[in-house]
Structure 1
Amino acid sequence: MALQDSRGFDLEARLQEREQAGLRRDLTPVESVASRARVAADPKGEPADFATAQEQVLFSSNDYLGLAGDPAVVDAAARGARDVGAGAGASRLVVGDTPAHRSLECTLAAEKNTERALVFSSGYAANVGTITALSPDVIFSDAYNHASIIDGARLSGAAIEVYDHCNADALAERMADRAGAGTADESWLVVTDSVFSMDGDIAPLEELCDVAEEYGAWVMVDEAHATGVYDGGVVGERDLADRVQIQLGTLSKALGSQGGFVAGSQSCIEYLLNAARSFVFSTGLAPPAATAAERALALAPDRREALWRAVERLRTGLESHGYEVAGETHILPVLVGDREEAVALAERLAAHGIAAPAIRPPTVPDGTSRIRLAPRATHTDDELEQCLAAFGAAPMAGGRP
């Protein structure tokens, strides 16, 4: 029974407002984490019914290397549960610091070429906890940074300077303006994603480091969408580990597990495990997630070639159909523009057995709605061709393409 109170919240009205603005979302249950799975309608809190659900090829997952369902990774998770436990049982600072955590952190530190690493319960918790613990005076943030970076910056209480997306010159201008205001004693932190999840582009990390070093600022890079896909992430592939003070990543995308991590110097990690509230006051990462992620890290290099072949096949095929595909990474944003047109295209793709939901504002700016394609290393040639055939058979309205 609904509770009525003059000081209550009219949530139904808020939902209607979202509906009318085209911003309401629904859950989309999938039967398994795989390249192909049955997709059911949202049962609104009840168990999903997959008996009559349509099987679709999933092209919207962050499981880029197809490791979430890999037998070796699943077996590693089972071993972690059997040997250590299904859960950590406590905060890491109490009695939740297990061999699974320590082993994974050593592997991550080696992967990121840092002195030490620290795992969190999620990438979101890693970003919010790290930024608020550092508590810089000023944060210089890319305009397209992930919501977890934005929220961490807001919660930190720092002055926030947003610079134009992937623009080191704009960062330099912001820093020059700030320096001219007589703020020599301030601590400055530059924060950016490496691979941007909605645009599929890469931050100009070398140039950003140049600017940061000129002004004595620290650099923090979120490698959520690069971890596992690039050797050591973009930071590692470009040999920038000694110029980036803080590297973040996630275990829940290309590594097919769950959780997040921070990698940096010994003093940085020791400070964070004392001061990052999302670490201190959370139960430790589940041991099965830790053992699964560590096994996935070992398997990742052998999956990359297949991923890049799939990416190239899709990009070439989509462009041959007349679609505009942005980005330069394994994320393929198919630009549509209009919000309703993007939703309609996604529905037509679904009718052809392809799950690739529309990405709309506020996730992306107005007028830039898109279909975000994310091929996996495990997509077969037939599945890639099915995707391309669906786009060819489901053109956008208005004569494009």
Structure 2
Amino acid sequence: MTHGFDLNERLEQRDAQNLRRHLEVAESVSARTRFADDPKGDPPEFGDEEVVFAANNYLGLADDSRVQRAAELGARTVGSGAGASRLVTGDTKVHRALERDLAASKGTERALVFSSGYAANIGTIDALAPDVVFSDELNHASIIDGCRVGASETVVYDHCDPDDLRAKLATRAADVDEDEQWLVVTDSVFSMDGDIAPLSAICDAVDEYGAWLMVDEAHATGLFGDSGGGVVQREGLSHRVDIQLGTLSKALASQGGYIAGDEVLIEYLLNAARSFVFSTGLSPPNAAAACEALRIARKTDRAAELWDTVATLRDGLETMGYEVLGETHILPVIVGDRGDALELADRLRDHGIVAPAIRPPTVPEGTSRIRVAPMATHTADDIAQCLDAFRTAGTEVGVL
């Protein structure tokens, strides 16, 4: 008899289901770089340079010299690490500067920075401890895990369907007493379909039943709205969304997450969100880097450069016969069969393009896809190489 874990068997099951993943070492975080197979404990051996359409570094700021200088200055003037929870000694001037700028971009009274977007989602839902969360069926895993940890019950509504949300709110209202606390949670931009939640209609349903609304702007922060505040800010809904959440690790090219909202919300969370209270504060270099990246997003045309690239890629892919979902900077190219999607990703790689295959269970059966994520720093030559690769590889695999 044994009471241990047979991890070899678990890995074999993942292999059998074609779900096992492997690490690859990148030489740098940029639009073009070299990769090495997982070297285990040995130094990596890099191959030829490839063009990366697989990162969430949407504005291409991760290797921007201005952001790098800001990180260096944060380390030199404040320290390389926060050293403690922010409730102890880890709350620094760069954290406060970042939070002021985030609140200004989001149109809220205050913001609070966490060590990651995942921690922000889990900590916030757990701290609120809602009786029921109404969650979009395609919400991110961090929202799902937050519901598992913090909600007494979770009701899933159909993706981007405010009518189904309203129906489920009505059913709940008819069955329970008035003292329940309800939280509606949705992503603003969905990372696998590239679509946008109908936030105004969702606000209408939430207001009708007196619930709270939390919107995760992980894939929208820095890219939408006049001040880079996201979809909520672009649509003028800051006063109707109780909790705005996002990450610093995508368009803002750093690390961490944030919550933005009213003063009382932030005061409560910094006391009650366990993932904030019991975590060392975000490192000062990361906070300083995010602050500079947000400034660039708000004050320059970097986002416009991204949207030009997105339009060129979407038009090119659709012209050659691919179905491209969504309406955002995330371009899901539908292939259908998981085997074809995996082969297409491999053939793209042969042509120097890194773009991942997304297959079940991440997406529904029959909708396997290539997820193309362009950066503002991709050049005309990069875009042309990507489109040429999709044309050649698609013909080779037989999906064109």
Name the TM-score class by shorter chain: over 0.9
2:293 alignment counterpart: 296
Structure 2 residue 202 is matched with structure 1 residue 208? yes
1:85 alignment counterpart: 79
Q: Report the CA distance between 1:45 and its aligned residue.
A: 4.7
- Report the TM-score, using the length of structure 2 for normalisation: 0.97
Is the contact between residue 345 and residue 396 of structure 1 (CA under 8 Å) also seen in structure 2? no
| 3-state DSSP of counterpart to 1:261 | strand
- Kindly report the root-mean-square deviation, in angstroms, between the aligned alpha carbons of the 2 structures: 1.1
Moved more, 38-47 or 342-351: 38-47
Structure 2 residue 93 is matched with structure 1 residue 99? yes
Query: Counterpart amino acid of 1:112?
Result: K
How far apart in 2 are the matches of 1:396 and 1:282? 50
- Report the TM-score, using the length of structure 1 for normalisation: 0.97
Q: Report the CA distance between 1:340 and its aligned residue.
A: 1.3
Aligned residues: 395
Query: Counterpart amino acid of 1:18?
Result: R
**Counterpart selection for 1:174 from 149, 153, 168:** 168
How far apart in 1 are the matches of 2:41 and 2:131? 43
| Stretches of structure 1 lacking an aligned partner (at least 5 in a row) | none
1:266 alignment counterpart: 263
How far apart in 1 are the matches of 2:89 and 2:119? 20
**Counterpart selection for 1:56 from 50, 55, 61:** 50
Q: Report the CA distance between 1:54 and its aligned residue.
A: 2.1
How far apart in 2 are the matches of 1:274 and 1:57? 44
1:285 alignment counterpart: 282
CA offset digits 1:225-258 (Å, max 9, x no partner): 0000112100000000000000001100001011
Structure-2 change in CA distance of 1:45 and 1:208 (3 Å): farther
Hey, which bits of structure 1, 4+ residues long, moved more than 4 A? none
How far apart in 2 are the matches of 1:171 and 1:11? 40
Structure 2 residue 132 is matched with structure 1 residue 135? no
1:329 alignment counterpart: 328
Q: Report the CA distance between 1:347 and its aligned residue.
A: 0.2
Q: Report the CA distance between 1:124 and its aligned residue.
A: 0.3
1:377 alignment counterpart: 376
Is the contact between residue 133 and residue 276 of structure 1 (CA under 8 Å) also seen in structure 2? yes
Q: Report the CA distance between 1:40 and its aligned residue.
A: 1.4
Q: Report the CA distance between 1:398 and its aligned residue.
A: 7.1
Query: Counterpart amino acid of 2:175?
Result: A
| 3-state DSSP of counterpart to 1:148 | helix
How far apart in 1 are the matches of 2:11 and 2:249? 29
| 3-state DSSP of counterpart to 2:365 | coil
Q: Report the CA distance between 1:399 and its aligned residue.
A: 3.8
Query: Counterpart amino acid of 2:258?
Result: F
Structure-2 change in CA distance of 1:340 and 1:44 (3 Å): farther
CA offset digits 1:237-288 (Å, max 9, x no partner): 0000000000001100001011000000000000000000000000000000
Structure 2 residue 106 is matched with structure 1 residue 112? yes
Is the contact between residue 341 and residue 396 of structure 1 (CA under 8 Å) also seen in structure 2? no
Is the contact between residue 40 and residue 54 of structure 1 (CA under 8 Å) also seen in structure 2? no
**Counterpart selection for 1:43 from 13, 31, 39:** 39
| Stretches of structure 2 lacking an aligned partner (at least 5 in a row) | none
How far apart in 1 are the matches of 2:63 and 2:136? 34
Is the contact between residue 90 and residue 96 of structure 1 (CA under 8 Å) also seen in structure 2? yes
| 3-state DSSP of counterpart to 2:324 | coil
Q: Report the CA distance between 1:369 and its aligned residue.
A: 1.1
User: In the TM superposition, what are the counterparts of 1:347-366 in structure 2 within 5 Å?
Assistant: 347-366=346-365
Query: Counterpart amino acid of 2:61?
Result: L
Q: Report the CA distance between 1:132 and its aligned residue.
A: 0.4
Q: Report the CA distance between 1:157 and its aligned residue.
A: 3.5
How far apart in 1 are the matches of 2:149 and 2:366? 29
Q: Percent of aligned pairs with the same residue?
A: 64
**Counterpart selection for 1:249 from 230, 246, 249:** 246
How far apart in 1 are the matches of 2:36 and 2:86? 38
| 3-state DSSP of counterpart to 1:395 | helix
Q: Report the CA distance between 1:183 and its aligned residue.
A: 2.9
Query: Counterpart amino acid of 2:381?
Result: D
| 3-state DSSP of counterpart to 1:371 | strand
How far apart in 1 are the matches of 2:270 and 2:107? 19
Is the contact between residue 127 and residue 149 of structure 1 (CA under 8 Å) also seen in structure 2? yes
**Counterpart selection for 1:74 from 60, 68, 88:** 68
CA offset digits 1:203-235 (Å, max 9, x no partner): 000000000000000000000000001121000
2:316 alignment counterpart: 317
How far apart in 1 are the matches of 2:175 and 2:42? 57
How far apart in 2 are the matches of 1:92 and 1:137? 29
Is the contact between residue 125 and residue 151 of structure 2 (CA under 8 Å) also seen in structure 1? no
Query: Counterpart amino acid of 1:14?
Result: R
How far apart in 2 are the matches of 1:353 and 1:99? 43
How far apart in 1 are the matches of 2:362 and 2:48? 27
| 3-state DSSP of counterpart to 2:369 | strand
How far apart in 1 are the matches of 2:164 and 2:387? 38
Q: Report the CA distance between 1:397 and its aligned residue.
A: 6.8
How far apart in 2 are the matches of 1:254 and 1:23? 28
CA offset digits 1:337-362 (Å, max 9, x no partner): 11111110000000000001111222
